[in-house]
Amino acid sequence: MIKPYAAATAVALLLASAAATPAAADDDDATVAHRKDVMVVAGAGMGTLGCFMKGDCALDGKVLAAAAKSIAFAGELSQEAFEDPAEDAMVETTSVPAIWENWETFSGGLQAMTEAADALVSAALEADRAAMGPLMQKLGGTCKECHDNFRD
Ligand code: HEC
Q: Which of residues 26 and 32 earns the better pLDDT score?
A: 32
Measured CA to CA, the distance from residue 68 to residue 139 in angstroms comes to 10
Give a yes or no: residue 6 inside a domain.
Answer: no
- pLDDT band at residue 26 under the 50/70/90 scheme: confident
Residue 18 in this model has a pLDDT that exceeds 90: no
Residue 20 in this model has a pLDDT that exceeds 70: no
Residue pair 54/46 in contact by the 8 Å Cβ criterion: no
pTM here?
0.87
Q: What is the CATH number of the domain that holds 50?
A: 1.20.120.10
Q: Which of residues 92 and 21 earns the better pLDDT score?
A: 92
Give a yes or no: residue 17 inside a domain.
Answer: no
Give a yes or no: residue 140 inside a domain.
Answer: yes
Query: What is the signed CA dihedral for 21, 91, 42, 112, rounded to 10 degrees?
Result: 70
Residue 63 Cα to ligand 1 midpoint, Å, equals 22
Residue 61 in this model has a pLDDT that exceeds 90: yes
Give a yes or no: residue 106 inside a domain.
Answer: yes
Give a yes or no: residue 10 inside a domain.
Answer: no
Determine the average pLDDT of the residues in 57-86.
98
147 lines ligand 1 (CB under 6 A): yes
Residue 91: which domain range? 24-150
The number of folded domains in the chain is: 1
Give a yes or no: residue 71 inside a domain.
Answer: yes
109 lines ligand 1 (CB under 6 A): yes
| Residue 141 CB coordination number (10 Å) | 13
